Amino acid sequence: MPIKTSPLAPSKLAVLPPIEGVRLGAAAAGIKYAGRTDLMAMVFDAQAAVAGVLTRSLCPSAPVDWCRANLPGGQARILVVNSGNANAFTGRKGADATALTAEMAAAVIGCPVSEVFLSSTGVIGEPLEAKKFDGVLQEVVHDANPDRWEDAARAIMTTDTFPKLATRTAEIDGVTVALNGIAKGSGMIAPDMATMLAYIVTDAPLSAAALQTLLTRHVDATFNAITVDSDTSTSDTVLAFATGAADVAAIKTAGDSRLAAFEAAFKDLMEDLALQIVRDGEGASKLMRIEVTGAQSDASARTIALAIANSPLVKTALAGGDANWGRIVMAVGKAGEPADRDRLAIRFGDLAAATDGERAPGYDEGAMSAYMKQDEITIGVDIGLGEGRFTAWGCDLTKDYVTINGDYRS
């Protein structure tokens, strides 16, 4: 089935500038489809600091296990990512495939396997033939250059309809540093740490500890705040790398006062990538922003917001352009968090739908219908009990989602 580009895709792709100390390459290894670019390598000219957050799924992929074992070392020389096969639920064969891939990558670069990081994405349960990387991986590394960010982003796509790219700059001690990021994800998106695959690189001289603190600090409000279909992947991985090539004194802790502008740019880039994933939700035609306020705590607000975002009834109403606020009430009630029916207020954009536990006075169906035709919809829910707040993002549920997933393994 031909893949149509999501109607929510950016009008143009971000152009990522080179970052000193990192080169990228991509090629076709024939993992699932002949002639399709499905192997990417990110090569660091010297040891780069690395940090990561990984899926909390209790059925993680073999590459997730590999990254989890190597992250405490805090150093990276190469990242290798394949699409077409998730190398998940593949038993001993999966572990052997990651080890073989790492050994090949380490030999090409001339580094220990502890400085090799791996990700795989695609079908679960199919053994990965890592021998297919032999020769191709050497070619990818040899041909890597600083300008191939879009090629790398395309190589890791599965059901994605567009590559996800983002770039930012910030100043540290008067020196401009760069941040680039790529990501993939379209379905099986309900992160429980981060989402699908995302990689961020900066030339700022951050230690692995400082990078880890920043990444962990901002995951919940970005990658953990999105959902497409309520399903947490076995392969969710977000890795951040710092080459340290910028002419700035080393930053050892995230509490360094010089990091203020960098941290803001870092979080903004993470949010940009996360929202691109929602915009490419399988079959999506509308982006949904859920703003929950007045909950007893931020954690309670998060649970309620995601209950709304994950509700098939809310998502299908959105697809049909129906401001069915009764389904919002349902989702709040089922979330299992403190709520008072008679204090609840619901709005779509700036239009009040319900207040004080009933339909809002002056409710205008015509105005509401007109608002629901937009491709970006904000749903505001005030619980009326406290100061807790959380914003989540999701998308609608269309017939195309069923078609895409019904044919996924064929």
Task: Give the model's pLDDT for residue 193.
Answer: 55
Task: Give the model's pLDDT for residue 115.
Answer: 98
Task: Give the model's pLDDT for residue 319.
Answer: 95
Task: Give the model's pLDDT for residue 408.
Answer: 61
**Is 184 assigned to a binding site?**
yes
**Is 161 assigned to a binding site?**
no
Q: Is the pLDDT of residue 246 over 90?
A: yes
Residue 385's nearest CA partner among 351, 350, 348, 335 is: 335
Q: Where are the domains positioned within the chain?
A: 22-279, 287-406
Say whether 287-406 and 22-279 share the same fold: no
Mean pLDDT in residue range 67-81: 98
The answer to whether 164 and 182 have CB atoms below 8 angstroms apart is yes
Q: How far apart are CA 78 and CA 154, in angstroms?
A: 18
Model confidence over 170-192: pLDDT tens digits?
999 999 999 999 999 887 767 66
H or E stretch at 318? helix 312-319
Q: Is the pLDDT of residue 345 over 90?
A: yes
**Is 405 assigned to a binding site?**
yes
Model confidence over 250-264: pLDDT tens digits?
999 999 999 999 999
In this prediction, residue 195 has a pLDDT band, given cuts at 50, 70 and 90, of low
H helices of 181-230, where?
Answer: 208-219
What is the sign of the dihedral through the CA atoms of 56, 276, 39 and 25? negative
Question: What architecture does CATH give domain 22-279?
Answer: 4-Layer Sandwich (3.60)
Q: Is the pLDDT of residue 410 over 70?
A: no
Q: Specify the CATH number of the domain 287-406.
A: 3.10.20.340
Structure tokens at 387: 């100061």
Residues taking part in catalysis: 195
Structure tokens at 312: 């098939």
Residue 250's nearest CA partner among 168, 167, 171, 172 is: 172
Q: What is the mean pLDDT of the chain?
A: 94
**Is 131 assigned to a binding site?**
no
Task: Give the model's pLDDT for residue 1.
Answer: 46
**Is 378 assigned to a binding site?**
no
Task: Give the model's pLDDT for residue 274.
Answer: 95
**Is 224 assigned to a binding site?**
no
Task: Give the model's pLDDT for residue 33.
Answer: 85
Mean pLDDT in residue range 238-259: 97
Task: Give the model's pLDDT for residue 39.
Answer: 97
